[in-house]
Each structure stands twice: as structure tokens, then as C-alpha cells.
A and B are shown apart, each in its own frame.
Chain A
Amino acid sequence: MNWETVIGLEVHAQLNTKSKLFSGASTAYGASPNAHTSFVDAGLPGVLPVLNKEAVKKALQFGLAINAEINNHSYFERKNYFYPDLPKGYQISQFVRPIVGEGTLDVTLSDGSTKAVSIVRAHLEEDAGKSVHDAHPTFTGVDLNRAGTPLLEIVTSPCMYSAQEAIAYLKTLHQLVRFIGICDGNMQEGSFRCDVNISLRPAGSETLGTRTELKNLNSFKFIEKAISYEQAKHQDCLESGKTIIQETRLYSPDTNTTHSMRSKESENDYRYFPDPDLLPIFVSDAWLTSIKDTLPKPPSDIKAELQQHADLKEDDISFILATLETVSYFYSVKEQSSASAKQIANWMKGPYAAALNEAGLSFEHPPIDANILGDLLSRVTSNKLSSNHAKTVFSKLLAGEGALGDIIASGGFESSFDQEQLIAIIEKTITSNPKQAEDYKNGKTKLLGFFVGQVMKQTKGQANPADVSRLVEERLR
């Protein structure tokens, strides 16, 4: 029998607010245990939550970015269960009425087609703390630094049919939340985590099969592997005539398997009810409009803009779109330089990326300012600097050997001829090789390399081979 896999995803995106959802404590990652824990986060007797409006704004930004229905009246509820890292014995979440309703996210699949993934809701909730098992030989510790951190839980309908579709959606979502500036997307630190709901049904069937839920996956690779494993497991089970048990499972990267965490029967009755300590969230039209007007450009718009540069290839565009910082670096260079989009992309992908990689840096903290790279590339474009020399100058800039102009002057990198001189050399080379020129015109285009070589030799390698090639071609046409 042919089986169809059906996948629905729940993503917990940590909203990058400075303080927590209901307290003034910092959300910074990596502090010593309980250093970022206020009385409210610790759930001391007598404390009360106060909503962080910034988190609401970020949730609304997300809703607008996916063209979702915004509930201008939503409210918080308490999800009651006992756990040592849940200080109040309940999590403040949204249940019946989430702030963001139905929306869609367009996802480009590997075959180039677009799939509209349906997002059914996105709601605000607070994160729990962490149990620490290795701090003390006989006790488990509790670290509440993460407790109360704002999360946006983004839930899709069961509308994806393969691990590849799921990953494509997750990557698009990951890019979106980073680009609109609501989540840092750091998966190692748990800022973007995913629960996968998966079920199988006979191909063509309309009803969903029994699902299992894979919890807390925090890398695209693990998500893909976990889905593959679970998919195969479901299929084995169904084909051998057994029934799937609805349960929550955990993926172990070490063994590349999943194991049961809890069955549906042992699930808590969370006894949701509206939190009487908090007022409902009212979103005024004026506020929503102001958020809409200042919403950062979503990646799909930036992509469309980049596609306007005909010389940029698909892989150049995806390199630039990797992070918001890469995009802004690209555009700053573009603004300040006469270099072509393709030339800038090549430099960013090539020498710059290699240098960043080596230094363990990113375009978030570029070691060479965009205006300096722009200046460098402008000089190459106008033939004041050869490509080879440009690379040397770039290394020296990286090594901090001085300002751009100084490095070029002291190294004698400036081309000793200008455009006119170069053209003179080219024309002279053509006239002194009439046979080859004739052959080229008769179709022996491979001879272009010969002419370029001759010119480069005469300019002692200082000319830009690409420019030389272009100029020779023009004159032999």
C-alpha cells in the first residue's frame, strides 16, 4: 500500500524582548543559574504578573507578516500542572483566544514551486525554567533564568506531506522571524524549537491517521532525521497490522531513534481557565496600524528586490538572504560603490566569507566596513586596482595594516595606467597579431584567451582580466 505522511508543526519562537513576559528580569542567555530570576519568575507568594507590551507588539508583527487574522481582544489562561521548573504550578499561556489567528506562509520548495503553509494560530506564553541534574551529587537543581521568557507558539495545520516540506517551512519561518526582528533564531540556545505531529494514512484517504508528537527538536538536521525515523516506524507498524498509539515521543540524536515520553492517557488535564491576575489584551486599530507601518521588510520582499538584479544567480540570492546582516551589508556596499551586484556578491561569498569563517565572525560584526569594501570594489571597477591586487589589499585590511588608501599607496598597488592606456595596449596587441585577429573573427573564439594573456603580460598582471576580456571582445567584434 502507498502511504501518505501528514505533518503539522508547532514552533516555539523565543521573542527577543529585553525583559520577560511578565516581569522586569533580563532574558539574556547564559547567566549564572537564577541570576535573572525576579520574585515574579520564582513564583513567590504574593507576586503578580505584569504584561510586557513589547512581547505583544512582536506577536502582532508576526501576525501581520503572515497576513493573519489579528484578534483585537485576546486573553491569557493558566495551564495547570506540577513540575519543579514551573514555579507557579501553572504556565501563563493563551488557549481559547490566541492573539494571532489564521494566516499563511508561502514556502519555496526544492522544485521551485511555492506552497502556502496554513498557520492556524500563534499565541503568547511564558517559558518554563530548567532542571539541572549535574550541579549537585544528590539533588536536582532548578535554574529559573529561562522561566517567564516570552514565547510565540506558532501552530500549522496538518498540511505538510514530507520531511522536505516540513524543513522548507521551518527554514522559511526561521528566516521570517529573524528578518522581522522578533526572534534571534538561535537554535542551540533553544530560541527556536519545534514539535512535530506526524501521522500516516493510505494515499488518497481523507481522514487523518493516529498521530505521534515529537517534542523539542532544535536542529533542522535532527528534525529531518526524526521525521524519517518516525515515518518508517509508523509504516512498519501499520503494514504489520498494528495500531499506532497516540503519544508524545522524544528523539535521541545519539541513536537516531525516538522513544516514548508519555502516552495520551497519562497526559495532564491542564484545567485551562482565564488568568484572573491579567487583563485581556486589547489591540487598538491605531496601534495595529502603527505596527504595520513600521514592520520590517519580510524576506520574500527582499528576495523579489534582489531578483531585480539580473546578474545575481539563485545561489547568490540565497547567500545574501542568509541573515538580515548579510542583506544589509550587501545593500550598504551596493549603495556606496560602483561595483555590480554580482561583483559584490562574489566578494562576499568568496574572500569575505572565507575570512569571516577563519576568524569565527559573521556579517553581524564585519571586520571591514561596508564603505571600505565599497571603495575597494569601486577602484577595481574603474581599473584603478587589479583584481589580484585587490585581494592582497583586502588581506592587509583584514590584518589591520592601515587605511585603504595608505595600503594601496605604500604597496604600490595602484594601476600605473588608466583606462585609455589599457585600451591603447589592447589595440596595439590586436594590430601586432593580425593573423590571430582574423582567425578570431572567423569563429576561432578560443583565441580570446591568447589576446587577454598578451595584454596581461604587457600590463605586468595589473589589469583586471575580466575587463581586458570584455574590451578585447568589443574590439574584435
Chain B
Amino acid sequence: MKAKVYVTLKPSVLDPQGKAIHHSVELLGFEKINDVRQGKYFEIALDAALTETEARETAEKIAKDVLANPVIEDYRVEIVQ
């Protein structure tokens, strides 16, 4: 079982890296690109013996306590078999 965790800056927090990437994308000639926000992606391998609910609870706790800083970031967890 695998947990996919996406960590993104809250919409209210400035993302200078995303802005720089956006600028480069525009320099390459891509048009109608309104914004780029950078985030982090984690894959957590979990023991197959866990139920999906248990896996989700564990991954949510890891995301909340370690992977994301709730002051500036949001997170989203997906469980895949």
C-alpha cells in the first residue's frame, strides 16, 4: 500500500519559486499561463497488512506532524493499493 502526500503553500503565502518558474515558462513562449505554484510530493510505502483506513490515518498524521508546516502549508493524502 502506498500513500501519496501533496504539500502546497497556502494560497495566501507568497511563492517566490513558483513565480520564478512562471517567468521562465513565459520566456519559453507558453501563452495563457496565469500562475505557477510549487509544492512537494511524497510517496510513503506502508505495510500491506494495514487497512486502508489505518493507512490513511497514519499518513494524515505524518503529513500533519512532519511533512507540512500548518502555518504556511496545506496537505492532501491519497491512498493507492
Query: Do the two chains bind?
Result: no
